[in-house]
Every structure is written in structure tokens, then in C-alpha cells.
Amino acid sequence: HGDFPSIDHKISALKGFQNQWPPARICELENMVVTKKRINSSKQQRDSDEFKIYLETKNKLLNDQK
């Protein structure tokens, strides 16, 4: 179910590895957040800041169409 809780990386594991972060840093609690499964799935490989921008842009486009 999409509203079940899910643990997510604030900075994605992929970006962490691309930036040569050690795995321990990628998995630190400071890089984790609890969210809903459906939100985690829609986030894909975006980090938290990129996802906020994505949602703001998407909402703006939807509001402009009204």
C-alpha cells in the first residue's frame, strides 16, 4: 500500500556513490528520512532538494492549467 511508511535517503545512494562517499556515510541516520512508500517511489533518484523543486514545478504547471 502506498501510504505505508518507508525509509528513504535524503541524498540518494546513487549520488552518494557518484560523489565517492563511503557507504557508511550514505547510510548515516542524518541522511535518512521516513516517508510514505508512494512518495519514495515517485522520488526516484532525485535527492530531497531536487524532489522539492520537481514537486513545486509540477504543482505550478497543474495550477497554471486551471
30 with 11: CB under 8 angstroms?
A: no
Residue 65 — very low, low, confident or very high, per pLDDT cuts 50/70/90?
Answer: confident
CA distance 12 to 26: 8
Residue with cell 504547471: 61
21-57, pLDDT tens digit by residue? 999 999 999 999 999 999 888 888 888 889 989 999 9
- Could you tell me which of 42, 39, 45, 40 has the C-alpha nearest to residue 15? 45
Output the pLDDT for position 33: 93
The pLDDT of residue 66 is above 80: no
Q: What is the pLDDT of residue 34?
A: 94
pLDDT at 16: 93
> What is the structure's pLDDT at 47?
87
